[in-house]
Structures are given as C-alpha cells and as structure tokens.
Structure 1
C-alpha cells in the first residue's frame, strides 16, 4: 500500500522519533510511505477550544494538502488519536459552522481515508503481529480522543500483546483523563495538575517500566509529571514499541516527550 504520513505538530516539534518510528514500522511491513512537506496543523487546538471560525482556514489548508493525494494513496496515517479524531469528527463540524458545503464535502473525502496508527494496522493492513521485540514491562493509557472519538478499543492492546518479550500490565483507572486536553491544561492548570498527579501515581502503581499511549501529547504530560516526581516509568509511544526489533531495538532518550534528564 501507499500511505501518506501526517506527522502532527507536536510530534514534529517535540517527539520526531514517533514519526520516524511510524515510517520504519510501515516500511518494514512492506508499504511505501510518502510525506507532503506542505502539511501543517490539523486545527485540533482551535476546534477543541471552540474557535471554529479561526479553525476554518487551518482545516481548509489541511484539506488542500491531502485531498489532491487521494487518488494516489491508499490511506493517510496519523500517530495520534486526537489529531485523527479531529480530522474524522471535527473538520466537517467546522465546515458546517462556516456554512461551507464544499469544504464539508472535501473534508469528508479526506476523513474517509484517515486512520490512527492502530486502526490502520489492525483494520486496514490486517496485522497484529508486526514482528516487534520489546523486552520490558509496559502499561497502556488509552487516550481520551482515541477511546471516545475514534473508539479504537482493544486494537493497541492486541498489537502490544503480540510483541515478543513484552509484558503488558494493567493500569489502574486506565480510562480516566491524564488532564492535558490541549488548552485545558493552560486554562485550568490546577485541575489539570491534580488529574495528571493521579494518572502518574497509577502508572507507578502498575509497576511498569514504560507507560505507552497513541498520543504524544498525553505522554508529554504524563512523562513530565513522572520526571518531576523522580518516578521510574518512562513514556513511550505505541509506534516506538512496534518499530523496535532485535536488530534495531528502541533506545530511550533522557529528553523524550516531557522526560527531562
């Protein structure tokens, strides 16, 4: 298959290895990955905060970038449940708010080929064992948008449990929010901090070496709290685990998604 990668803003700036891992994984599985350097933000920050009018030109730019590719690619992959959720659920909402029927129709065409990474692997590529090797204990945090918008369900866990050498342990209260929520963590910082404090404590209680999720934003938030409290677990993206093999194992960094040395 020919797959177009949408890196997402936060991955591009804060966690570029997540994008690189996505490419390594898909190419190892025999697929061609293409990248359009004109891509910019999907507009999630604007839409989540309710700024639909301001989001409209961002959505239009996104559609202008990806719609012309649709006849040359099989899918668009985003290593982010929140950004994929924005494209699939919120772009049409923004277009309707602006009474732009043409943009709504075009956005729908793009959304129909857009997938979060675990969706692409399990539903489109029909694979759960990707040949990964990760001899560590992990616990999985299902991010809010992937769980509630996209309803990815057990797909990430199916992929994780097929990894050689891994031990997946339960995360207490796994379905509670980490408190990031984009601008929520800025506008409601005290509430956000209380939420991530509870999440980090549950990660520690799991006994895992790593906390894994499909969103770099949530990992940045959780990893930042773990780092500030001196806790042992490290944040890691699903793509980084699935890209890890015996020949090319994942090498953790001391500065990764909020984890400061």
Structure 2
C-alpha cells in the first residue's frame, strides 16, 4: 500500500468519478485508474462499482473512505501546523449551499480575506447539502433548518419568513396577509421533495390538518418564480429569495412567520481544519445580520 494509491482512491471516492478525481489531483484519469486498481489487486477487494462514468463505493470502499478521510484530514492538520506562517495562503474549500441568498456575501467576504484559497460551490436543496456534508463530499454547508446531529456543528445565521408568491392579477395579490387555509383550493407550485421550502410548507399544512390537491412540482426556486410569473399558480419562497419582478407579488403567510433558519454547518471532525474553522468563524460574524445575507 502506497500513499499515492490511498490519495488516488480518496480523490475518486470524494468526487464520485475517476475523471473528477484525476482533475482534483492534477493527474490523468489513466494514472489514477492504475493507482486504484493496484490497491484493489493488492488486497483482493473491489472498492468501486464503475457505472456510466461514475465510481460508486462498495461497502469495502466506504469503510476505507471513512478512514482515508480521517487520515488526510490529520495529514493536512500536520502540514498546517508545520507551516503556520503560511496558513490559509493556499488550499481548497468545497462549499455546499441550498441557495445563493445566504451564501454569496459570506463567500465573497471569505474570498477577499483569503484570496489564495480555491473555492468550489455546489448548489442543491437542503437535504442534498446535509448529505454532502455527512458524506464528506463538501467541507462546509450553508443551508436551512438542518436537523440536529451529534456529528455536526450547526450555527444559526438568520431567520426568515415564508411568503406566497402570486401573480399580480390574481385576486389574492391585493391581500396584506394570507393564511394557509386561503390557498388550499388554489393551484399550488411546490418545490421538489427534499427541499427545505417544501418541508416547511408541508409541515405547517399537516399541523393545521389542511389538505390540497392541485399541485405542480418544480425543481428550483427560479422555476417557481417563472411559473408564478406566467400565471401557472401560487408558489412559496422565503423573503430573502424574492427578486424584483413586476409580474408577481409576495404576500406574507401568517402561520409561517420566522419559519426558516439559515445555518452554517460542518462535521465536528472537520472543524479542526484551519480553512474550515476560518470559514465557520467568518460566517458566525454574519449571524443576526439579515441584511448582510441578502
């Protein structure tokens, strides 16, 4: 077993493909493939299932990946300790976010303060962000209403309320405040399952013993905005997600005031990394500053 083999395996596991793992290491895909294959043959194990350009971890592969992640985090910690004078002048940080509204100002400030750190930002919904952090595919996450976990550090950044996004010509657009019960007979435009918006909305509907039948499911907040703008129904967005569009009106929802909490999250085991600790510490300075997160 050689260090280069473990490094190649870890990169492929983290990126989910041989090509992306090779890019992360600045090597050619064949070189990385040879390293991983040699490791598998040395121990008689199958570490990945190769399928359609993806590299899916087997159970043996997952067990090794859990250990190589800890190993390389410790290795990085040793390197940082030995080169403290140049800490945060170089490095790479992978950020997962469930939307740009709470993330971009923090990222911009971090980049200005630490220009030598390469940043990769992945956007998804709240559940994919949480899974990316737990699966160590990202180093830090900016998401909303993350469930507690003994593996995670979770810090609240800001609180938002949910609004109903309505076409300007709809009769309900003139209202200053709406109840969820006012909307149950309307055509509703909902985010995909797994999104924080969908989870908060459905939780409130269930708690109030309400029901609805007419729904259109869309996979992004941008799609929801446009669908409402062309008159397909009523959508739901948190107040920081609203953009100026004269075709639509955002009306507060009584039951969903202060229903969203933006958070920065990371694995407790990752917080020892200087680059992660620096990002989390910076994000904490934005806590409670809702204007700064817009």
Using the size of structure 2 for normalisation, the TM-score is 0.26
- Identify the structure with the greater strand proportion: 2
Computing the radius of gyration over CA atoms, which structure comes out larger, 1 or 2? Answer: 2
